[in-house]
Amino acid sequence: MLQVHQIREKKDEFLAALAKRGMDAKEELELILKTDEKRRSTQAELDETLAKLNKFSKEIGQLFKSGQAELANEMKEQTTALKEASKELQNTLGDASKELEELLYGIPNIPYELVPTGSNEEDNEEIFREGDIPQLEDNALPHWELAKKYDLIDFELGVKVTGAGFPVYKGKGARLQRALISYFLNKNTSAGYTEYQVPHLVNEASGYGTGQLPDKEGQMYHVTNEDLYLIPTAEVPVTNLFRGDLLNHTDLPILCTGYTPCFRREAGSYGAHVRGLNRLHQFDKVEIVRLEEAQNSYAALDGMVDHVKEILRELKLPYRILRLCGGDLGFAAAMTYDFEVFSTAQDRWLEISSVSNFETFQSNRLKLRYKDADGKKQLVHTLNGSSLALPRVLAGILENYQDADGIKIPEVLVPYCGFDRID
């Protein structure tokens, strides 16, 4: 969530930055400032009224003590009017504050200066590419056919138990899935991230804290009786572990990692681009989250990118990195790098990770602050990244490592899964 004082001081800069997202926010920002002015003037009037009440209360006591009861009673009548006025002002202040908060919730984050202008994924900027795309046999299969051939994943059983988008992993498919989770967590903890096991349901405050609500409300599964939400990513519960905290600069950086299932009510569509593991309602993901001081957050973002690079190098999967344009940038992100692995059997790139810096957008919602070296309270910068999302990594391994006799397992995963081939 943006801060009102920043909007007031940098309105023109913010308008230009939001234009990168294809958003003309002039009316919205002016309404925010107008509502904030009403809130501030109401607060000033309320403070003045309460100050008069306090003063009159003291004077009334003195008048009664000095025997001036008639004058004291006259002043008591004035205090009654002041109390009524203060109640009305408090109601007006509450309404203005709520309206201001709702307006602020509707404005996305300000894109970082390096974010390219653009309207959709076609305008994203490729900044890095690595790995050789393997040459497969003419009869190479996409991962959903491989999963069926070698009895690794049963999509029909998932439909039977729940519905489309909820696959059942079996045998070596399940073991490979578990191997990837363990490998990712070990890589993250070796890099200094502390592992957390967190709840898979969160309350509304947590959803608002990290920006999923109200922006992505329609994409989240809602447990209505308890007013809880199934998590779309571990980012939500992990970041909310620190909601409302006041840290010290010596506590930072804080590095967290965690494995969770993720649940997303994505709009249904048809075709090969959403077949198999390409798009699911439930999938597994290992996440990394960082809390940083402002001056260190973009260096930390680069470090997270390098960390994901190392994982993909060890898996020996061909990948590329995109810097997302304003129109493709997530609501809460100031800058995002997307990693995509090349699926040889599908002949296309598949997104497998997003690494983002949210700057103070989440921490302002979370009221997550720290005391800097001078003792001044500052908002923390929050970052997160997939390290990694499993479905498309698994799809990439199945497709890119297939040969005429089966599927080879990446060497780095063999100690985790206990076999080197699927055949």
| C-alpha torsion 302→303→309→310, nearest 10 | 160
Peptide bond into 214 cis (omega under 30): yes
Confidence of residue 296 (pLDDT cuts 50, 70, 90): very high
**What mean pLDDT is predicted for residues 112-133?**
95
Q: State how far the alpha carbon of 137 is from the alpha carbons of 103, 115, 394, in Å.
A: 56, 40, 19
**What single-letter DSSP state applies at residue 209?**
H
- Both tokens assigned to 37: 């002015």
Predicted TM-score of the model (pTM): 0.91
| Segment among 68-72, 146-150, 339-343, 349-353 with least mean pLDDT | 68-72
| Segment among 48-52, 55-59, 62-66 with least mean pLDDT | 62-66
What confidence score (pLDDT) does residue 316 get?
96
Nearest CA to 259 out of 300, 289, 295 is that of 289
| Segment among 69-78, 168-177, 301-310 with least mean pLDDT | 69-78
CA–CA separation, 206 and 146 (whole Å): 39
Which residues is 229 bridged to in the sheet? 202, 222
Determine if residue 264 is labeled as part of a ligand binding site: yes
Nearest CA to 392 out of 274, 277, 311 is that of 277
**What single-letter DSSP state applies at residue 373?**
T
Q: Angle at Cα 42 formed by Cα 37 and Cα 47, nearest 5°?
A: 130
CATH of domain 4-105: 1.10.287.40
Q: Which helix (H) or strand (E) holds 228?
A: strand 228-230
Determine if residue 231 is labeled as part of a ligand binding site: no
CA–CA separation, 106 and 2 (whole Å): 10
Residue with tokens 């997307």: 338
Determine if residue 287 is labeled as part of a ligand binding site: yes
Determine if residue 352 is labeled as part of a ligand binding site: yes
Q: Is the model more confident about 56 or about 199?
A: 199
Which residues is 342 bridged to in the sheet? 349
Does residue 163 contact residue 266 with C-beta atoms inside 8 Å? no
Which residues belong to CATH 1.10.287.40 in the chain? 4-105
CA–CA separation, 384 and 231 (whole Å): 15
Does residue 273 contact residue 350 with C-beta atoms inside 8 Å? no
pLDDT digits (tens, 9 = 90+) for 219-245: 999 999 999 999 999 999 999 999 999
Which residues belong to CATH 3.30.930.10 in the chain? 121-422
What confidence score (pLDDT) does residue 273 get?
59
Confidence of residue 270 (pLDDT cuts 50, 70, 90): very low
The distance from CA 410 to its chain's CA centroid, rounded to whole angstroms, is 31
Which residues is 384 bridged to in the sheet? 289, 356
- Both tokens assigned to 262: 């993720």
What confidence score (pLDDT) does residue 57 get?
79
Helix (H, G, I), strand (E, B) or coil at 359: strand
- Both tokens assigned to 390: 């499993």
Determine if residue 354 is labeled as part of a ligand binding site: yes
pLDDT digits (tens, 9 = 90+) for 202-215: 999 999 999 999 98
CA–CA separation, 29 and 11 (whole Å): 7
State percent of the chain over pLDDT 70: 98
The distance from CA 289 to its chain's CA centroid, rounded to whole angstroms, is 10
What confidence score (pLDDT) does residue 138 get?
83
CA–CA separation, 108 and 102 (whole Å): 12
In a 13 Å sphere around the CA of 230, the CA atoms on its Cβ side amount to 15
Which residues is 323 bridged to in the sheet? 125, 337
**What mean pLDDT is predicted for residues 360-374?**
97
Q: Is the model more confident about 321 or about 62?
A: 321
Per the prediction, the chain carries an average pLDDT of 94
Determine if residue 363 is labeled as part of a ligand binding site: no
State percent of the chain over pLDDT 90: 85
Annotation: CATH topology of 121-422: BirA Bifunctional Protein; domain 2 (3.30.930)
**What mean pLDDT is predicted for residues 364-385?**
97
Which residues is 381 bridged to in the sheet? 292
CA–CA separation, 46 and 90 (whole Å): 7
